[in-house]
Every structure is written in structure tokens, then in C-alpha cells.
Amino acid sequence: MAGPPLREQKINIGGFLSPAALYLGYGPIQKNESRPAISNSNDSNKLTVSVSNESSKEEVWRAIQLAAWFGSVGSRSRNSWGSLSISCVSGQEIKSASEMSSNTLGNCLRDWEDCLKLDWPHAIGKDTKGPLIWKTVPNGNWAQVIKDIAKLRYDVRQLFPLDLGSPNLQERHILAYPIKEPVVRVWGKTSRFPNQLRLKIIREGARFHGIITHIPCALPKEMAHKVEVSEPAVDLKAMQLRVWTKVHQYLDEQSSNLTRVV
């Protein structure tokens, strides 16, 4: 990741220009810019997958395809660092991002509101328009794609202004927790759940797409219970539906930067 081109990609964070890379990967970027998962060194490794059961081949191949579209590794992998780029030499071809659709994703999709019945990420959400997956316009500069998805992630957070003086649950907390401030009184600083929007950089030839995917799930049961006891007037399910509906609508409206997978 080191090098002037990436450091020069900055976004406006509350009136201050911050490197997009720093916003998406604070810890690793701040401490060590040479970590492999946050570099563009184009390192490659060969993995041989052997399947002894003929009936499992299709399922294994499907897993490889999903890893090519959505897979990433490392401590900031949800924020696009460590994005995997997979090519195969088995006679089968990896489908491109342009081939991602409701049909090719099949049973990996589930109505996003139904996903909120479980408190663990288990499917890609969908609504009446299709999968909850958005692609940035292709760009030959991967650093620019980092900037594009960093800005989108930041702008989503700004949809939900914070009352810094309130210790109660607020809509911004539904996106991810913890945040710097304010802390939810009954959750404290140690409770946590990650953002449900997963970011990925996918390579197609000499160009790159940013992929934003919503993998919905309910709040962790213990955290939800604490809110239900301390703030009985709060309808957690309704709050989650309200927050994520607003996020989906916002991303759909960014037609100059994003296209929705259908």
C-alpha cells in the first residue's frame, strides 16, 4: 500500500482531509504500511484443491467463485484490504463481476428482513430490486477505487447524526459498534459488532471495481437484551429496518458512482 498515489487519495472527514486508506484501515495503516494484506505488491500463491467426491465438485467450485467475488483476508478484510483475486487453471473460468446476478448467486441470497431473525451473518441480503450489492464504476487506478468506497462508507455514516450528549442507543450505533462517542450506556466500550456492509476490491483485467455488499443480521442477542431491558420503548427490529432501508436507498441513489447488481 505504500507509495504517494494511495496517500494522495483523501476524503473529507468532518471538515478535515484524511487519507482514504487510513480511514478504512486505521490500525494496520497507522502502525505498519508494509503489511502484505494492505499492499499492492501483486504477490501470488498457487493453491491446489482436490475433491475426492465427484458430487462435491460443483459445490467446491461455487465456493471458489464466491471467494473470487467477495473473499478477502487480514485484519481489515471487511474494509477491502486483502481482497482476493482468483484465477483458475482447471479448465473452468472465474466469472467476472459483470456476471454477478440474482441467477448466479442463487441460494446465497435471502430476503434481508428475514436475515434479521438471526444474529449471525449467513446470507447476502436481497430486496424487491435484487441483491444488496453495489459496484463502483470500473477504474484503472486501484487507489482511486479505495477513495471511492471510503467516501461512500463515510457518507453512509453521516446519514445518521449523533446526539453526543445521549447515553442511549441511536441509529448510528446500528451500523456498527463501538464508535468513538457517544458510548451506549448499557453496552460500554467492550461490546462490539462489525459493520454489515462488506467492502471488496475486485480486479477485471487492468481495471478495478469496488464492491459493497450488505450481509444483514440481527444485533447480538446479549446486546439486544440489554437495550430491551434498559430502554423498553425502543423497538429494535423497527430501528434496524429503518436504518438499513435508508442505507439501501442512499446507495441506490448514487447512480453516477454505483450500479446495483440485479
Q: What is the pLDDT of residues 201-225, one digit of tens each?
A: 999 889 999 999 999 999 999 999 9
209 touches 218 (CB < 8 A)? no
pTM (predicted TM-score): 0.87
pLDDT at 131 over 60: yes
Task: Quickly count: other Cβ atoms within 10 Å of residue 114's Cβ.
Answer: 12
Q: Return d(Cα 112, Cα 118) in angstroms, integer.
A: 11
User: 137-163 in b/e burial notation, b at 16+ Cβ within 10 A?
Assistant: ebeeebbbbbbbbbbbbbebbeebebe
DSSP state of 181: S
Q: Return d(Cα 64, Cα 45) in angstroms, integer.
A: 15
Q: Find the range with the poorest average confidence among 26-35, 116-125, 142-151.
A: 26-35
Strand 207-214, strand 197-204: pairing: antiparallel
Q: Please report the sign of the dihedral spanned by the C-alpha atoms of residue 15, residue 18, residue 21, residue 26.
A: negative
Q: What is the pLDDT of residues 23-41, one digit of tens each?
A: 776 555 554 555 554 555 5
**Quick one: which of 169, 150, 173 has its CA closest to 160?**
173
